[in-house]
Amino acid sequence: MGLNVAILGATGLVGQKFIQLLEERKFSLSSLRLLASDRSKGRKLTFHGEEVKVEEASPSSFQGVNIALFSSGADVDRYFAPLAIQKGAVVIDNSSAFRMDESTPLVVPEVNPEDIKLHQGVIANPNCSTIQMVVALYPLHKLSPLTRIIVSTYQAVSGSGAPAVEELRRETELLNQGQTFTSQFYPHQIALSLIPQVDDFTPDGYTKEEWKMVDETRKIMHAPDIAISATCVRVPVVCGHSEAIWAEFSSPIEPDEARNILRFSPGVEVVDEPQKSIYPLPQLCEDKDAVLVGRIRKDFSSPTGLTMWVVADNLRKGAALNAIQIAEVMVGKGWI
């Protein structure tokens, strides 16, 4: 007997990826309920060749639901989570609403699957940029604990949702036509440019996105003392976040040793033949489960440092896939 699953935010980019992956991975379902705002009520989406009508989310929507996959934004998810829990559902939330709540596990299955057992109704899915970084670094951290991480991200516009994807396409077309325009979604032009701001700024000059990478990494790895600094940049790429990572460890790790470890690590694919111009690219990661890691080399500014280039599909592993993997662990371990 399969589970009853609901998707809140079913018509968004991540919600539609949930549907795709539940089908691809043959997740054992008895029923699938698609929920969204009143604007999307009545829209039909396809699952296993059949049309499923989108319902307007309400407090009664979660009756009989075992697992609720949430992706509607922090405020909406924060409102509906207690209602879903009251109906007996376990919520796997893709927003930032519960990530740093002390009673809520923040999980990447390749890193801390046992934390799932600690949930009190909600399991949080980390930020997309955090997920790919910890998947790449954790196997090395187990060999020689991390002491410091410096990361610069190059984040695709799909991380901001469908309106941002449309803005990039609109601006690119208008630029090709030689027309002037005013950016509507981002504070500046994104086509043929980049914006060194992802999310809002905090008083210390960092953005919320940058602090997410700091706080979430420490929580997931159970390593509160790792020194971490992040700079997050939005780039004119539709899908696939890229990261340049400088990592310092307790003791040196040779690049070849790191490659060998990562080749046999869950969720990682090593793409690292720089002499042949083979390294991770956003177009290589689209619709792939794995986090791609390449350009692994010594950091000559630090005796225990490595530098690497990490790319992943931000909608897939960075959001929907990670959440579904959490659900799969729960089912496989009998925790639901």
CB 36 within 8 Å of CB 65: no
Q: Could you tell me the pLDDT band of residue 327, with boundaries at 50, 70 and 90? A: very high
Q: Are residues 51 and 23 in the same domain?
A: yes
SS3 string of 1-22? CCEEEEEECCCCHHHHHHHHHH
CB 272 within 8 Å of CB 297: no
**DSSP, res 200:** P
Q: Is 128 labeled as catalytic in the residue annotation?
A: yes
**How big is the chain, counted in residues?**
336
Q: Is 232 labeled as catalytic in the residue annotation?
A: no
Q: Are residues 77 and 174 in the same domain?
A: no
CB 213 within 8 Å of CB 230: yes
- Print the domain residue range for 271: 130-314
CATH number at residue 46: 3.40.50.720
Residue 70 has a CB neighbour count (10 Å cut-off) of 33
As for how many domains the chain has, the answer is 2
- E strand or H helix that includes residue 307: strand 305-312
Residue 37: pLDDT above 80?
yes
Instruction: Tell me what the mean pLDDT of segment 64-88 comes to.
Output: 96
User: 327-334, long-range: CB within 8 Å, 24+ apart, which pairs?
Assistant: 327/5, 327/27, 327/67, 327/69, 327/92, 328/25, 328/27, 328/109, 329/109, 329/113, 329/116, 330/67, 330/90, 330/116, 331/3, 331/28, 333/116, 333/117
Distances 213 to 86, 96, 228 between C-alpha atoms, Å: 31, 12, 8
Q: Are residues 23 and 74 in the same domain?
A: yes
Catalytic residue (one of 232, 239, 241, 285): 241
Q: Are residues 136 and 78 in the same domain?
A: no
Q: Are residues 115 and 155 in the same domain?
A: no
Q: What is the pTM of this model?
A: 0.95
Q: Are residues 161 and 135 in the same domain?
A: yes
The pLDDT value recorded for residue 159 is: 96
Catalytic residue (one of 128, 232, 239, 285): 128
Q: Could you tell me the pLDDT band of residue 63, with boundaries at 50, 70 and 90? A: very high
Sheet holding 227-234, edge to edge: 227-234, 146-155, 241-249, 305-312, 291-298, 268-270
Residue 151: which of 173, 136, 139 has the closest Cα?
A: 136
The whole-chain average pLDDT of the chain stands at 96
CB 141 within 8 Å of CB 221: yes
Q: Are residues 163 and 109 in the same domain?
A: no
Q: Are residues 50 and 184 in the same domain?
A: no
Q: Are residues 143 and 220 in the same domain?
A: yes
Strands 241-249 and 44-47: unpaired
Instruction: Tell me what the mean pLDDT of segment 271-289 comes to.
Output: 97
Q: Are residues 60 and 192 in the same domain?
A: no
Q: Round to whole Å and give the CA distance between 336 and 329.
A: 10
Q: Could you tell me the pLDDT band of residue 2, with boundaries at 50, 70 and 90? A: confident
CATH number at residue 219: 3.30.360.10
Instruction: Tell me what the mean pLDDT of segment 288-304 comes to.
Output: 97
